Chain A
Amino acid sequence: MSKVLMKGNEALGEAAIRAGCVHFFGYPITPQTEVPEYLVKRLPEVGGAFVQAESEVAAIHMVYGAAGVGIKCMTSSSSPGISLMAEGMSYLAACELPCVIVNIMRAGPGLGGILPSQSDYFQATRGHGHGDYQLIVLAPASVQEAVDLMTLAFDLAEKYRNPVMVCADGMIGQMMEPVEFPGEGRGEPFKENDWELTGRKGRARRIVNSLFLAPEELFQHNIHLKEKYGRVHRDEMRWELCGGDEPYDLLLVAFGTMARICKTAIDEVRRDGLRVALFRPITLNPFPLAACRAAMDAMHAKGQVLTVEMNMGQMVQDVRFAAEGSRDVDFYGTAGGIVPSPDQVAAEIRERLAGVRATTPIRLWSGAGLCCEAQGDGVPCAGTDGTCDTCGRAMPAPAAQPAPTGA
């Protein structure tokens, strides 16, 4: 099939149909509205159904119902809408029902703004609903990858009987790029479907349920889920390492849109002879910890690690977890819908590799403490006797542990 020029949101919709999705339930929100806009037209053409729900809460529970009767289905939303779906996601995971949830992230918190962001990393990988459950989270960096990961999302949802989230940002959703779709027309329904509620008709009874009032029974259910997530973490990690063939002095870690911008920044600084590689997790959950660590370990002892994110520092926690204290992991990022340009990232790289201070107005320093007056904004004070060795100012005392109450 030849390539077509398509918006990310529309491509996600078409990819869902190619993967066999026949039902969509959702509620409009910028910047993902082209997903339902595309599907409201396309689904009836392939014998499917589209429902605009009265709210995101209703939409995710319609997904719950449809998945419970064995229908391949999905929903999509953007950050605040995903928050509303949290309860339903927990129920879907608890009942082991396969479905796909698309989050085209916008800037938060609260109602926030409509511009691109990656500030739902915690929400996608840790948060949303209550209870001991996980989603598989996939993060595309291009429109083509959004299509490929949408196909994978339905496959993984079916394989593990678990909700899968495709987590992109407004830029991927709104951008047009050439894409190629797998297959022709509507894809296949679920292959082996031993959970769907069809009416008993002589077979063993099936129950879709997440209420276990007997603690031992609920404990066993949690153990079963843990075993399943263990298999996901063992078998489904996906990542990309760019520029890892040659030695490097700085490892950037970035996902989605930010990873693309980092690639261009790296191309730029390589012309000056700087040696930088990029580690890009494709699965945010499971986060490819071992591969990320291996990419760090491939560097010499003074090699630096920098995560670049469109948030205030979220994935950096997983990268630090991967480092296990073996080296410092720093963070550079923006929020509010501001997308760092390749030039800004390149300036940050140059500064870190040459000690030359750049003048990017929105850079953040992840180190704690005062900024050194002599060395300028962004360089923390350092000293051993309570004053800074460079500027001589008194440094703040380390924060004391709060005293236990009632002691």
Chain B
Amino acid sequence: MITDTATLMDTEVLMAGFGGQGTLLAGKVLAQASMEEGREVSWLPSYGPEMRGGTANVIVCIASKPIGSPLIEHPRGLIAMNLPSLEKFAPKVKPGGVIVVNQSLIDKDPRRDDCVVISVPSRELAQQAGSARAANFVMLGAYVGATGAVSVEAVEHAIAAEFAGDKARFIASSVAAFRAGVEAVCPRS
């Protein structure tokens, strides 16, 4: 794991899935965590005529200097929560990028030999962590584990901050799901 933020590369990740899968929320947590680490961030959602059951996506940019365009055509990272998102966005990922595939819903290889492709059974891991609804955090964990885009502690802190107050009951299962995602790609030695 890279934890020294000064050595971190600028990156951007596109998170995409069905409305209701929590892609926008996972993106917000990533942006919040990166901001807490002193980095520049932007969080740009798709806001067309989206609806529950439709598709939703967000681009999170993380950089060491002010972000120019928050709109990225070829991101270095993709978290695909469902098949339409994988089919639409996997071809756009920059060569050498990281693609995290939601194995629980996607039975298809993105066919990107030039990228690091990680398949994660997010629903199963989230269920084991205490809540099937936290599959988004499993996926985020896998991405963070694979890239070191931000520290694990910062994300955990951001999850706790996001659910502070009357949603505090979601913190434990969300953090556990996030950790399960991290450990799925970098097992504890």
- Chain A positions within 8 Å of B, measured between CB atoms, are 3, 5, 30-31, 114-115, 142, 170-171, 174-178, 260-261, 263-265, 267, 339, 341-343
Contacts and interface: CB of A to CB of B under 8 A. Distances in A.
B31 A260 contact: no
B69 A261 contact: yes
B73 to A, nearest CB: 4
Nearest to A31: B47
B73 A341 contact: yes
Contact of A176 (B31, B49, B66, B71): B31
Given A114-B48, A176-B43, A171 B31 contact: no
A18 to B, nearest CB: 20
B44 A174 contact: yes
Nearest to B60: A176
Nearest to B32: A5
B71 A5 contact: no
18 contacts: A5-B31, A31-B47, A115-B48, A175-B70, A176-B28, A177-B42, A177-B70, A178-B40, A260-B69, A260-B70, A261-B68, A261-B69, A263-B68, A267-B68, A341-B72, A341-B73, A342-B68, A342-B73
Contact of A261 (B42, B43, B45, B71): B71
Given A260-B68, A267-B68, A341-B73, A174 B28 contact: no
Given A5-B31, A342-B72, 9 more contacts: A171-B70, A171-B71, A174-B45, A175-B43, A175-B44, A176-B28, A176-B31, A177-B70, A264-B69
Interface of B: 28, 31-32, 35, 40-45, 47-49, 66-74
A261 B73 CA distance: 11
A208 to B, nearest CB: 39
Contacts of B45: 174-175
A267 B69 CA distance: 11
B33 to A, nearest CB: 10
Q: Which 5 pairs, one residue from A and one from B, show the smallest C-beta to C-beta distance?
A: A264-B68, A176-B43, A264-B69, A263-B68, A341-B73
Contacts of B69: 260-261, 263-265, 341-342
A177 B71 contact: no
Nearest to B58: A176
Which has the most chain A C-beta neighbours within 10 Å: B48, B49, B69, B73?
B69
Contact of B35 (A174, A178, A343): A178
A89 B128 CA distance: 59
A171 to B, nearest CB: 7
B104 to A, nearest CB: 28
A109 B66 CA distance: 33
Given A3-B35, A5-B35, A174 B71 contact: no
User: In the complex, which of the residues A114, A177, A339 has the most CB atoms of chain B within 10 Å of its own CB atom?
Assistant: A177
Nearest to B42: A177
A342 B32 contact: no
A178 B66 CA distance: 11
A5 B70 CA distance: 15
A339 B71 contact: yes
A177 B35 CA distance: 9
B73 A177 contact: no
A5, A174, A175, A341, most chain B CB atoms within 10 A:
A5
A265 B44 CA distance: 18
Contact of A5 (B28, B66, B72, B73): B28
A12 B47 CA distance: 18
A119 B157 CA distance: 41
Given A3-B35, A178-B35, A114 B47 contact: yes
Nearest to A263: B68
Contacts of B48: 114-115
A130 to B, nearest CB: 34
B41 A178 contact: yes
Given A175-B43, A177-B42, A178-B40, A114 B71 contact: no
